[in-house]
Amino acid sequence: MLILQHRRERFHRFNTARIVHQSLQRCDLLAEHIETLANKFNAMSLSDRVGLLYPGAQARLLSEVDAGEHPRQLIVIDGTWIQSKKLMREIPRLVTLPRYALAPSSPSRYRIRREPNAAALSTLEATVAALQIIEPTTVGFDALLGVFERMVDDQLQNPKSNWRRNEKRGRGVTNSPRALLGDLSNVVIGYGEQERGNRDLPIVPKLIYWTAIRLVTGETFTCAIESPSFADAPFMERLNLGMTEADSAVNVDSFRKLWRDFLRPNDVVAVYQKSTADLLEDTAPEFKPSVILKSINIDGQRQKGTLEVVLDAQGIAKPPPNGSRAWFRMQCAVALVERLKR
């Protein structure tokens, strides 16, 4: 067994990959930043009958594969569905491997974490299900499932330590970050657009356009990043981007340098949604935004809906829709920050 773990899962209290790693005699686990993980994996020697346990149109049902064709080395990706897609995208070698899938007869027992669909299993459950097919005579898998179920039951019996039971904690309490309560001279508001996605492929869309403004001085930053999406006219029309942006697009390394040159050492980067923060972090991990505006209470209540909906609900005037969609939404975020400041 080889488990490739997304770094954000490494210290998650409910992660099951470490249970698998500690329980199996022949199991390795790699957990690094994606670039380092990719380099280590690409340098590894794999079995001539290696297989990747990952669903998709190209995957064969493991239960329907003849015993003589079973993989001798099985690779499992550990992370949320989005994190798994990122690993598939950033480690091209994975796409070249034979793929296998499971057909679980019952839903996951992982009741303390949300699964994307009824067929999704935790890393431990998926590993056990695969090994029970590949190694039907190996004993101990039921005991491993028993450990997993006891962990889940113990967590459900102790709701104070269960993050799912704490979802309403703090509701109605002022939670504005200090960065927005004092001098705003180091606050930078950003917004990004991602390329068009494809639900049929395990690929997470990349950042293609980033715009930002330094609140007090009004200094702005805009940068387009090379992408095939710039050739998609209807998609570009939806983003209000044109040939000017497409012609000025730079590669990712150039974007990182330009963004680094714009930022000051003490700048605080704020975005409206966590998905925007993730988009920037995936492109430039060292520039993870530190303030998520949507998580801040307004008048003691959490914000609901899109940024435009929140502005309308609060009676905050929206800026005129000039320029790109990214520019408009960034200016909407500026209006929200000014409201939070007051």
Residue 181 pLDDT greater than 80, yes or no? no
Q: What are 21-61's pLDDT values in tens digits?
A: 888 889 999 988 888 889 999 999 999 999 999 988 788 99
Average pLDDT over the chain reads 82
> Percent of the chain at pLDDT above 90?
37
Residue ranges in the chain assigned as alpha helix (H): 17-23, 34-42, 81-90, 92-95, 123-134, 141-156, 233-239, 243-247, 252-262, 274-283, 307-313, 325-341
When pLDDT is cut at 50, 70 and 90, the band that residue 122 belongs to is confident
Q: What are 196-253's pLDDT values in tens digits?
A: 876 555 556 789 999 999 988 999 999 999 999 999 999 999 999 988 888 999 999 9
When pLDDT is cut at 50, 70 and 90, the band that residue 159 belongs to is low
> What pLDDT score does 341 carry?
76
Range with the largest mean pLDDT of 82-86, 235-239, 305-309: 235-239
Name the residue ranges covered by the structural domains of the chain: 2-163, 178-341
- pTM for this one? 0.53
Residue 119 pLDDT greater than 80, yes or no? no
- The CATH class of the 178-341 domain is alpha beta
> Percent of the chain at pLDDT above 70?
83
Q: What string of H, E and C letters represents the secondary structure of 32-89?
A: ECHHHHHHHHHCCCCCCCEEEECCCCCCEEHHHCCHHHCCCEEEEEECCHHHHHHHHH
Residue 115 pLDDT greater than 80, yes or no? no
